[in-house]
Amino acid sequence: MLGKRVEDLAKAVTDLLVRQKQVTVGMPPANEHTITAPLPEIDLRQLIHQAYGDDESTAMLTQELLVYLAMFIRTEPQLFLEMLRLRVGLIIQVMATELSRTLICTGEEASEHLLNLSPFEMKNLLHHILSGKEFAISSVGRGNFSVISCKSSRVSKKSQIGSLLGGDSEGTEDVEPDRQGQWLRRRRLDGALNRVPRNFYPHVWGVLEKCQGLAIEGRVLPQNLTQEMTPGELKFALAVETVLNSIPQPEYRQLIVEALMVLTLVTEYNIAASLGGIIAVEDLVHKANQIFLEDQMKVNGDATLCCAKPKDKREITSCGGLLCGGAAYICQHFYDSAPSGSYGTMTYVTRAVAALLDCLPREGEVDCSVS
């Protein structure tokens, strides 16, 4: 509101761009703007304010985070491995989500806490998000909070929650660390940071070679890209990234990435000479979710509390979403499953691929194990 500016904003963005990291500002899907080339300071500020409209606080926070991201990419480039595009809007969203999770408060309250963090704590929180380190929030009085790394902190999660609530934690029983939500959180973080597995884009190139295209969120990656670009070409990686970025939910994006990785296994092991026509990757994820829910009903798993019910008995919210709050109509318990193992997401995606792709052999033995 006062028109204050962050110093060296243009230099910070340039530092990110020269290291082959594209930058987006604003919130997907409607108001996200991509920065692919260095811009003058005044144009950058105008673009950021255009992306956030009347939200001056978030526009200012975006400028601050861009400076911190540039600092980190200069001093700790390993934090940005397998990340092509830095989506600042989603990073802000996931920072608020992490505060909401840690402080056990509403999203609106978490956003307020985020905007009230000191520059040091903001930078510290961003570093924890990028590195994937576990952290906790400690109250330092007068509504201020401090970000503490769980590894270096001698304060347990239990006692910190007790201090936040103003209660005395002494005399309470020790409890096992709560691992529920761990994989959902991991997928949200990786999705918001656009982090993908190593050699992901060359693997996708290999899948495209064996099918007519990959359909994601109504957009198609055509096979002819393999004739126009090489597997390791940055232009191809950006083409894949652009399609993936049409998915607004970070955790759903990561399941799509996992589904693509399963398809790469099919091509690597030469299970089929061709994968056929255009593959709808989203259908694979939804089929995997369906198989997961069927298994949950058989074993009376946690998902029976929300989605694992006969279709006529499934409940939805007044807004039409799932009772568990799962994005893109995928059960939250599926998002919170580990990728590997007998009940892992990639195992279910593998079963979905076997069920939906007509090109796979229907007889004989096929090794479908996911290690």
pLDDT at 345 over 80: yes
Following DSSP, what letter does each residue of 236-287 receive, concatenated? HHHHHHHHHTT---HHHHHHHHHHHHHHHHHHHTTS-S--EEEEEHHHHHHH
Q: 88 Cβ partners below 8 Å, 6+ apart?
A: 23, 24, 25, 62, 65, 66, 69
Strand partners of residue 316: 322
Domain membership of residue 306 (yes or no) is yes
CA of 315: how far to CAs of 128, 310, 318, 319, 336, in Å? 37, 10, 10, 12, 20
Q: Give the per-residue pLDDT at 166.
A: 36
pLDDT per residue over 230-267, tens digit each?
Answer: 999 999 999 999 999 989 899 999 999 999 999 999 88
- The residue-averaged pLDDT of 265-288 equals 90
Both 143 and 251 in a single domain? Answer: no
CA of 207: how far to CAs of 232, 260, 267, in Å? 14, 8, 6
Determine the Cα–Cα distance for residues 317 and 323; give it in Å rounded to an integer. Answer: 6
Say which residue, 68 or 312, is predicted with more confidence: 68
pLDDT confidence bin for 170, thresholds 50/70/90: very low
Domain membership of residue 141 (yes or no) is yes
Report the number of distinct structural domains present in the chain. 2
pLDDT above 70: percentage of residues in the chain: 85
pLDDT per residue over 173-210, tens digit each?
Answer: 333 444 678 899 999 999 999 999 999 999 999 999 99
Domain membership of residue 361 (yes or no) is no
The last residue of one of the domains, among 122, 146, 164, is 164
219-222 vs 276-280, strand pairing mode: unpaired
Q: 120 Cβ partners below 8 Å, 6+ apart?
A: none
What number of H helices and E strands is found in the chain? Answer: 15, 8
Both 243 and 345 in a single domain? Answer: yes
Q: Give the per-residue pLDDT at 370.
A: 52
The last residue of one of the domains, among 143, 164, 185, is 164
Dig out the tokens for 73 from the structure.
Answer: 């990419």
Identify residue 34 by its one-letter amino acid code.
T
DSSP 56: H
Task: Provide the residue range defining the domain that includes 245.
Answer: 198-356
Give the predicted TM-score (pTM) of the model: 0.83
DSSP 311: G
Both 148 and 248 in a single domain? Answer: no
Centre a 10 Å sphere on the Cβ of residue 179 and count the other Cβ atoms it contains: 8
Determine the Cα–Cα distance for residues 315 and 335; give it in Å rounded to an integer. Answer: 19
Both 42 and 143 in a single domain? Answer: yes
Centre a 10 Å sphere on the Cβ of residue 363 and count the other Cβ atoms it contains: 5
Q: Give the per-residue pLDDT at 154.
A: 35
Domain membership of residue 292 (yes or no) is yes
Both 214 and 152 in a single domain? Answer: no
Following DSSP, what letter does each residue of 185-238 receive, concatenated? HHHHHHHHTTB--TTHHHHHHHHHHTEEEEEETTEEEETTHHHHS-TT-HHHHH
Burial 159-178 (b: 16+ CB within 10 A, else e): bbbbebeeeeeeeeeeeeee
Name the strand (E) or helix (H) holding 145.
Answer: strand 144-149
pLDDT confidence bin for 365, thresholds 50/70/90: low
Domain membership of residue 111 (yes or no) is yes
Domain membership of residue 92 (yes or no) is yes
Both 58 and 103 in a single domain? Answer: yes
pLDDT confidence bin for 312, thresholds 50/70/90: confident
Domain membership of residue 190 (yes or no) is no
DSSP 19: T
Both 48 and 147 in a single domain? Answer: yes
Domain membership of residue 310 (yes or no) is yes
pLDDT at 211 over 90: yes
Both 208 and 131 in a single domain? Answer: no
